[in-house]
Homo-oligomer: A and B are copies of this chain.
């Protein structure tokens, strides 16, 4: 269980505003899903999340609604697709976190986050060179983590 430093209630209030701006309804399911994702943990795959939620008799949200809401939460910005490896997509709950990139251990699957301002700056320079207007980016470095390296 990971405790988030962010205020979930605050996120839900902001999400409600976001929905209203889009003339969409503020439903129980949509708000519940934020709680559920926060409780589930930081990184997740949709399928695992769906199965986990299915075991919780109290807070049922269906597979379709989960998929539909995840799209909204991505648009809202509280969730991001972070890793695309093989055919798996790993999402991340990023509320209140600065942008960061990832080191992915191909041995044990561990995901290490890092921030490097210089890399970000260089990316902006590259974009400027190509007259390209960046909206977001994804940097994944695959390899072997310290622990797996030690194990051989």
**A7 on the B face (CB < 8 A):** no
**Nearest CB to that of A84 among chain B residues?**
B84
Give chain A interface residues in 100-152, CB to chain B under 8 Å: 103, 105-106, 112, 114, 116, 118-119, 122-123, 126-127, 129-146, 149
Tell me whether B141 and A112 are in contact (CB under 8 A).
Answer: no
Q: Report the contact-size class of chain A (Cβ under 8 Å from the partner).
A: 20 to 34
* Chain B hits for A84, CB < 8 A: 84, 89
Question: A138-B140, A139-B138, A139-B139 are known contacts. Are A149 and B123 too (CB-CB below 8 A)?
Answer: no
**Nearest CB to that of A137 among chain B residues?**
B141
Question: A84-B84, A144-B133 are known contacts. Are A122 and B116 too (CB-CB below 8 A)?
Answer: yes
Give chain A interface residues in 34-62, CB to chain B under 8 Å: none
Instruction: List chain A positions with a Cβ less than 8 A from chain B.
Output: 84, 89, 103, 105-106, 112, 114, 116, 118-119, 122-123, 126-127, 129-146, 149
For this complex, 8 residue pairs linking A to B, each with C-beta atoms less than 8 Å apart, are: A84-B89, A103-B130, A103-B134, A119-B123, A134-B142, A135-B142, A135-B143, A138-B142
Across the A-B interface, give the 3 residue pairs with the lowest CB-CB distance, nearest first.
Answer: A84-B84, A134-B143, A131-B146
